[in-house]
Amino acid sequence: MAGKRKRRSAQEPRVDDLFYDNPTPEPEPEPEPRDGATESPDAGHPDGGGPADPGVAQDPDRLGDSVPAGPAQEDLPEDLPEDLAGDVAGDGTEGGFSDAGEPEGEFPDDGEHSYAARGDRGGPGDADDAGAGGAARKGRYGSAGRWVRAVAITGLAAALVYGAGSGSLARLDLAAALDRADSTPEQAAQQAGLAVISDSTLGCVGPGLVGLDNPSVPETDQGVSVSAGSAPLEALPEGVAAEEGGGITLGVVPDGEVSEVSARGEVATLSAQGSTWVRAVAQGALAAGFAGTQLGYSFEEQQWGMATAVCGGALDDLWLVGGGDETGRVERLILANPTGNPVTVTAEVLGAAGPVSVVGGTGIVVPPAGRHVVLLDALAPGEERPVIHVTTTGGPVVAALGDRWLEGTVDRGTEVTTATAAPGTSLVIPAVPAPRPDSADIAMVRVAAPGQEAAVVQLRALTPDGPVRLEQGVTNVAPGSVVDVDVADLPAGTQGIEVSSDTPVLAAAHVQRRAEADGAGDLAWIPATAPTSELHGAPLATSADGAIKGSLSVTSLEGATVEVVTVVAGAVESSEVTIPAASSHTVELPAQTESVWVQPHQGTVSAAVVSTLEHELGTLIASLPLPEAAVTRQLRAIAPWMP
């Protein structure tokens, strides 16, 4: 033969044994040595180079020659075809082949010994008649067997690839497919369905006016208070069992204050000062319905204003709406990296005239567990209607936009706004305070068309009495551009606004509270949300004296019934509220409300809390869209299998 191939030991299983459940091969006894002969590693090999094969019969006269020892004829399967019976009896192979059709060793080209154990093939003299035919049959069936196994394995691999792409792999039971029904009894299959989450991590970006690396920009010390906790049992969906255990930890990053609680309904609080951010972690039973917020306010000159923001999960693709080009207005893009690796951020800006040529918007590196602040004016100088698109590589980030307006020495307000809803054709801005009579208040909606097509956008107010048309209810937005729509004709009070479009758009509302046109004031941004049927809510950071007042606004496009749950001084109160289609409902919150939650029983809603704080210089205002407080996660079915 052309060369030698390594023999497989009798104890070593073949690959096809694993797929076809072949019986484990039994070890065969070693051949007895001839009388007077010493057993050596070289005995029994045709050229004295190796040990005798236990599966080969030895000729007593010629130890160097060997022939395969096959099974007895009576041991063959009854249904074996007659033309194969002779091939299998003896060994089923020619020239020392295994039953898999692979050569077992090298044998001499000696006709006498090559056919000694194959009575069906005749002797050397019949080689032209029987030997050629037998070899042809052997080659035909041996090759066919190998091809069948190859096709079967290839088919199985193709099925796995198809299943992974189509999603059906989650229900593919490999054990059943290969008839190995009890292959791993110690492993339980994972069933598809919902499971209560057991861990949740959020990030709070911290103060909105500090953190620049540029020493030429003066910054004053600023702090925020952070609150985080889990929804009370009364707010959880039906069927979610109350379990013991778990905990909530707030920690200022880097290396700051830590606050912990271990009971549902309790709220963990702490303060973060300067260029820091806060990591909020919930474990075990307290992870279900976990949320957090931050609050910062000041009556000091050049810092006057109030800002609230959601503590959110890290994202790798988000949009921020806010800012302007007024004199003394400065916006900061705040980025916090909750991961253990550097994250690279790209910031793109849409503006009034379309996409802005951004300077330095790529390659913004946020270090592990770090916080990085970028001036928006450095990215898009002088842009009057900025909308920022943040994408990342290397990991997600927690992002927000700090907006501060100081016109000369007159404070116009501060805000920290988080991500708006992803581009969509039907969005809701849940709580927009209408301008007050006899004031210099402002209310408007910023809309951006991020795609390649122009958008025809319709706005309408969603009030407790139903939908109301607005004077500027229809607006055209060019591709890649941004428009501000005046909605000063909103009905009195706090209303929802529906934003509908023929192509996906982004939206957020902007309000300013100012008693006089040249007096001090405050501002707020209210991002659009996508209506949801999930639990949403959060603890509310508030002032110690209870001076901050809050109102909850719940808006529904299709109509909904919800349970509104509040926690005040440790007492839980709940009430059922029905909201007609295309309407909103406002609930005044008691002073020092610790948390508020909205659990839809029917329909989808959007909700937000508007906070106000009265001062001798004017009214401070902030808006907080209530985030989803995840309770469950989706599981895919997995059938365990091990060959």
pLDDT tens column, 268-321: 999 999 999 999 999 999 999 999 999 999 998 888 999 999 999 999 999 999
Q: Give, for 596, the enclosing helix (H) or strand (E).
A: strand 593-602
pLDDT digits (tens, 9 = 90+) for 382-429: 999 999 999 999 999 999 999 999 998 899 999 999 999 999 999 999
CA pair distance 60, 425, nearest whole angstrom: 90
| Spatial separation of the C-alpha atoms in residues 212 and 210, rounded to whole Å | 6
Bridge partners (DSSP) of residue 270 are 226
Look-up of token digits 């051949």: 31
Higher pLDDT: 580 or 46? It is 580
Q: In this predicted structure, which of 186-200, 432-446, 568-582 has the lowest mean pLDDT?
A: 186-200
Question: What confidence tier does 235 reach under pLDDT thresholds 50, 70, 90?
Answer: very high
Q: Contact, 308 vs 293, CB < 8 A?
A: yes
- On the question of pLDDT at 65 being above 50, the answer is no
Convert the pLDDT of each residue in 123-169 to its tens digit: 444 444 444 444 444 444 455 556 656 655 666 555 554 454 444 44
121 pLDDT higher than 80: no
Q: Name the average pLDDT for the chain.
A: 80
SS (H, E, C) 387-447: EEEEEEECCCEEEEEEEEEEECCEEEEEEEECCCCCCEEEEEEEEEECCCCCCCCEEEEEE
44 contacts: CB under 8 Å, gap ≥ 6: 31, 50, 51, 52, 53, 56, 58, 63, 66
Those residues with Cβ within 8 angstroms of residue 133's Cβ, 6 or more apart along the chain or in another chain: none
Query: What's the pLDDT tens digit per position in 466-512?
Result: 999 999 999 999 999 999 999 999 999 999 999 999 999 999 999 99
Q: What is the pLDDT of residues 504-551, one digit of tens each?
A: 999 999 999 999 999 899 999 999 998 999 999 999 988 778 899 999
- What's the average model confidence in pLDDT over 621-636? 90
pLDDT at 551: 96
pLDDT score, position 17: 47
pTM of the model: 0.71
Tens digit of pLDDT for each residue in 162-221?
Answer: 454 444 444 444 444 444 444 444 555 655 567 889 999 999 999 998 998 877 777 778
